[in-house]
Amino acid sequence: MIPGETSTGSKRSDALWGAYDGPRRMTRSNGCRVWDEHGREYLDTIMALGAVGLGYAHPAVTRAVERAVREGGVGPLPPVAEARVAERLAAVVPGAEAVRFLKTGAEAVAAAVRIARVVTGRDGVASCGYHGWLDWSQEVEGVPRAVTALHRPVRFNDVAALDALSADPPLAAIVVEPVIDEPPTPGWVAALHETAGRMGALLVVDEIKTCFRLGPGGAVARYGIRPDLVVLGKALGNGFPIAAVTGPASLMEAATKTWISSTLATEFVALAAAEVVIEQFERRDVGDAIARAGVRFLNGLRNIAAAHPAVATGVRGIPEFCYLTFRDEATSGAVAAAAATRGLLFKRDAYNFVSLAHDDAALDVILTLLEEAVAEVEQRC
Amino acid type, 346: F
Residue 113 confidence (pLDDT): 98
- How many angstroms separate the CA atoms of 353 and 364, rounded? 15
Closest CA relative to residue 218, chosen from 187, 181, 252, 177: 177
What digits encode the pLDDT tens for the residues 161-187?
Answer: 999 998 889 999 999 999 999 999 999
Contacts for 313-319: CB closer than 8 Å, 24+ residues apart? 316/181, 316/182, 316/350, 317/179, 317/181, 317/182, 317/350, 317/351, 318/179, 318/182, 318/183, 318/294, 319/291, 319/293, 319/294, 319/295, 319/354
pLDDT at 381: 78
Distance, in Å, from the CA atom of 125 to the CA atom of 206, rounded to the nearest integer, reads 14
Q: Residue 216: its pLDDT value, please? A: 84
Whole-number pLDDT of residue 268: 96
pTM score over 0.85: yes
Sign of CA dihedral 160, 151, 49, 17: negative
Q: What are phi and psi of 241, to 5 degrees?
A: -75, 100
Q: What is the C-alpha to C-alpha distance for residues 145 and 254, in angstroms, rounded to an integer? A: 27
Residues of the chain with CATH 3.90.1150.10: 1-53+323-381
Multiple choice CATH, 1-53+323-381, 3.90.1150.10, 1.10.10.10, 3.90.180.10, 3.40.640.10: 3.90.1150.10
Q: What is the DSSP string of 14-63?
A: HHHHTTS-----EEEEEBTEEEETT--EEEESSHHHHT-SS-BT-HHHHH
Q: Which of 262, 252, 187 is nearest to 225 (CA)?
A: 187
Instruction: Please report, as a single letter, which amino acid is at residue 36.
Output: D
DSSP SS3 for 187: helix
What whole-number distance in Å separates Cα of residue 40 and Cα of residue 27?
10
The confidence score (pLDDT) of residue 373 equals: 98
Query: pLDDT-based confidence at 285, cuts 50/70/90?
Result: confident
| 166 vs 230, more confident | 230
Strands 352-353 and 312-318: unpaired
Supply the mean pLDDT for the chain. 97
The pLDDT tens digits of the residues spanning 20-40 come to 999 999 999 999 999 999 999
Residue 45, Cβ neighbours under 10 Å: how many?
Answer: 27
Of 3-7, 54-58, 207-211, 215-219, the range with the lowest mean pLDDT is 215-219
59-284 belongs to CATH 3.40.640.10: yes
Residue spans in the chain of domains classed CATH 3.40.640.10: 59-284
Rg (CA), the chain: 21
In this model, does residue 128 exceed pLDDT 90? yes
